[in-house]
Amino acid sequence: MVALSALADNSRAPEAVGPVPTAAQVAWQRLETYAFIHFGPNTFTDMEWGYGDTPAEAFNPTRLDCEQWVQTIVKAGMKGVILTCKHHDGFCLWPSRYTDYSVASSPFKRDVVRELSDACKKYGIRFGVYLSPWDRHQASYGTPEYVTYYYNQLEELMTQYGDIFEVWFDGANGGDGWYGGAREKREIDRSTYYNYLKAWGIVNRLQPNAVIFSDGGPGCRWVGNEKGFANPTNWSFLRIKEVYPGYPQYEELQSGHADGDAWCASECNTSIRPGWFYHEKEDTMVKSVDQLVDLYYRSVGHNGTFLLNFPVDREGLIHPIDSATVVQWHERIQRELSTNLLLGAKFTASDTRNKTYNASKMGDGEWETYWAPKDGVTVADITIKTKKDVTLNRIMLQEYIPLGQRVKEFVIEYKTCCGKWVPVIVDEETTTIGYKRIVRFAEKTASEWRIRILDARACPCINNIEGFYSNE
Ligand code: FUL
C-alpha cells in the first residue's frame, strides 16, 4: 500500500479543508469592526422594548444628522453600520408601503434609512439592516398574513437602498407568551412561524453578497452573549441544522462547533451603554476606553467581528460622550497595534511546502500569500529572528481562511539569553487561530521567537504573524 503522503502533490497549493467560507463571508470578516444604531420610538419613551402602541407623533428628533453618525463611525475606524430599521415595537424608520406606522406618520417625516444609506455611500462605509421579525404593533402578528407583511418589508429594504452588507435576524421574541398588536397575547412557534429559509431566500435573491446574521447564521452567527466577546477557542463552524433563532444552548456559540459542517463565523455584539436605546440616565454609564479595548482583543482578537451599538439620542445624534469614547478607543488600538516589531525579521519554518509557501510569506502583510508545510504535517514550528532584541507583549496570528480554519493548538515561545526556549505567559488558552488571533502576554525581550503549532485539522496555512508592544 502506498503511503498517503507519497500521493500528496506538494508543488501545489494545499487543498481546502471544509467547511470553507464564501467570498462574501471572507470580505465580511475582514471588516472586523462595524457599528450598530438603535433608534426609534423607544428613544423618546425611555424604553428598551416598546409595546408598539406609542403614537407615531412621539418620533420627533430635532437635529437628526446621519452624516454625524457616519463621521463618528469612520473616525472610530469602523467599516460599516447596521440600523434598526424596525425594532420589536414595529415602527419603521422608512416610509414602508405596507404600514402607516412609520416616519411618514410622524412629524419628522424624513426617511432615516435613506439618509443613513446615502451617508454610508458618501463616506465609503458599508450599510446593513436590522428588521425585527417580532412585531408588537401589527394586529396581524401571529397569523400568516403578518409573515407576508414581514417578507414584503424585507423586499423593500433589499431593493430601495443600494448594497447591503449584512441583514440582522433577531431571535428575540419575548418569551413564552407575549404581546402582539394592541397589547394582546400572541403565541407562535418561532422555529416554524417565520419560515426563515424563505426570508433568507429573499435576501440571497436580491442581495447575493449580504451576510445573513441570526443565532445560527447561515452567513454569520450570534456569539451567544450580548457582552461583545468570543471565547479564545473559537471555531468558525456550526452544526448548522441544529442551531436556529432562539436556540437554547446558545452558550455554545461563544466557541462555535469544532465538528461543525458549515462555515458560520461569530459576530460579537454589545452596546457602548447598558441599554441598546438611548436613556439619559445612562450618560454616566458609557463603557470606558479600557473596557472597549479589552473587548476588541476578545472579539476581533478571538476570531470574531465586533459590532458596537450606539444609542442615538433624542436630538438624533450620537451622544458626544459616546463619540469621544469610541474615537479614543480607536486611537488607542492604533497605538497598540500599528508598529509591527517583527517587520523585517527572518521567518523560517521546520517544514516548507515549496518556494511559494515558505515562511517568509508571513511577514509580508499580504492577505493572499501564506506559508504552508507539506500535506499531512500538522505539527510545525515557525522561528522568527529579529535583527536586535525586541520587547513584545502581543502577537497577532492569521490563518488563510479561504482554505478553511485549521489550527487546533499552538504555543508562543521566546529564546532566553542562555539559549532556552520558554513559553510566554498567557492567561487564556492558545488553541484556535482562525481569521485573526491576537494573544496578549506578559512582556518579554528577545531576538528569537517561535510559534509552535501543536495540532491542526490539516497542514496549517498562516498568512500573517506580527508582534507589538504596548505599555498602556
Ligand atoms: C436583542 C433585542 O431584544 C434587543 O432589544 C436588541 O435589539 C439586541 C441587539 O438584540 O435580541
> Ligand 1 mean position to 172 CA, how many Å?
6
Let me know the angle formed at the C-alpha of 269 by 154 and 59, rounded to the nearest 5 degrees.
55
Position in ligand 1 atom list of the atom nearest CA 168: 9
Q: How far apart are CA 254 and CA 101, in angstroms?
A: 37
CB 295 within 8 A of CB 228: yes
The pTM (predicted TM-score) of the whole model is 0.97
CB 78 within 8 A of CB 35: yes
Q: What is the CATH number of domain 2-18+340-468?
A: 2.60.120.260
Is residue 395 within 8 A of residue 466, CB to CB? The reply is yes
Quick one: which atom of ligand 1 is closest to the CA of 130? 7
Q: Among positive and negative, which fits the CA dihedral 436, 331, 37, 126?
A: negative
Ligand 1 atom index nearest CA of 309: 9
What cell was used for 60? 420627533
For ligand 1, atom 8: residue with the closest CA: 276
Joined together, the cell numbers standing for residue 447 give: 531576538
Q: Where are the domains of the chain?
A: 2-18+340-468, 32-336
Q: In angstroms, what is the span from residue 427 Cα to ligand 1's centroid?
A: 31
The protein residue with its alpha carbon nearest to ligand 1, atom 3, reads: 172
Kindly report, residue by residue over 391-407, the tens digit of the pLDDT: 999 999 999 999 999 99
Per 3-state DSSP, the chain is made up of helix, strand and coil in percentages (nearest 5) of: 25, 25, 50
DSSP 12-70: SPPPP-SS---HHHHHHHTT-EEEEEE-SHHHHHT-SS--S-S-GGG---SS--HHHHH
Atom 4 of ligand 1, residue of closest alpha carbon: 276
CA 277 to ligand 1: nearest atom: 5
CB of 172 shorter than 6 A to ligand 1: yes
How far from chain centre, in Å, is Cα 137?
30
| Helical spans, DSSP H, in 300-445 | 320-337
Cα separation, 202 vs 455, whole angstroms? 41
Task: Classify residue 68 as exposed, middle or buried by CB count within 10 Å of its CB (0-12, 13-18, 19+).
Answer: middle
How would you write the pLDDT of the chain (472 residues) with one tens digit per residue? 444 444 578 889 999 999 999 999 999 999 999 999 999 999 999 999 999 999 999 999 999 999 999 999 999 999 999 999 999 999 999 999 999 999 999 999 999 999 999 999 999 999 999 999 999 999 999 999 999 999 999 999 999 999 999 999 998 887 656 777 667 888 888 888 999 999 999 999 999 999 999 999 999 999 999 999 999 999 999 999 999 888 999 999 999 999 999 999 999 999 999 999 999 999 999 999 999 999 999 999 999 999 999 999 999 999 999 999 999 999 999 999 999 999 999 999 999 999 899 988 887 788 999 999 999 999 999 999 999 999 999 999 999 999 999 999 999 999 999 999 999 999 999 999 999 999 999 999 999 999 999 999 999 999 999 999 999 9
pLDDT of residue 466: 97
Spatial separation of the C-alpha atoms in residues 267 and 435, rounded to whole Å: 13
Distance CA 157, CA 164 (A): 9
pLDDT digits 0-9 by tens, 253-288: 999 999 999 999 999 999 999 999 999 999 999 999
Give yes or no on whether 2-18+340-468 and 32-336 have one common fold. no
Q: Which atom of ligand 1 is nearest to the CA of 38?
A: 7
- Take atom 10 of ligand 1 and give the residue whose Cα is closest: 170
Q: Which three cell numbers stand for residue 469?
A: 508592544
Given a contact cutoff of 8 angstroms between Cβ atoms, the answer to whether 224 and 249 are in contact is no
Cα-trace Rg, the chain? 24
Q: Where are the beta strands (DSSP E) in 337-406?
A: 346-349, 380-399
Calculate the CA 223 to chain-centre distance.
9
| CA 4 to centroid of ligand 1, rounded, Å | 50
Give the C-alpha separation, 279 to 320, whole Å: 14
| CB 44 near ligand 1, within 6 Å | no
Cα–Cα distances in angstroms (integers) from residue 80 to residues 1, 164, 261, 397, in the given order: 54, 10, 29, 24
Helices 66-75 and 320-337: angle between axes, nearest 10 degrees: 20
Query: Do the beta carbons of residue 300 and residue 429 sit within 8 Å?
Result: no
- Angle formed by the axes of helices 112-123 and 66-75, to 10°? 40
Nearest CA to ligand 1 atom 11: 172
| Contact (CB, 8 A) for 54 and 323 | no
pLDDT of residue 1: 43
Identify which of 82, 86, 170 to mutate to test ligand 1's pocket (most ligand atoms within 8 A of the CB): 170
Kindly state if the Cβ of 170 falls inside 6 Å of ligand 1: yes
Measured in Å, residue 105 CA sits from the centre of ligand 1 at 25
Contact partners, residue 38, CB within 8 Å, separation at least 6: 84, 87, 271, 276, 277, 278, 309, 310, 311, 312
**What does the DSSP 8-state code read for residue 394?**
E
Residues in the chain: 472
Q: Report the nearest-CA residue for atom 6 of ligand 1.
A: 276
Strands (E), 75-193: 80-86, 126-131, 166-168, 178-180, 184-186
Return all residues near 115 (Cβ < 8 A) that are at least 6 apart: 64, 66
Q: Superfamily assignment of 32-336 in CATH?
A: Glycosidases (3.20.20.80)
Pocket lining: 276 vs ligand 1, CB cutoff 6 Å:
yes
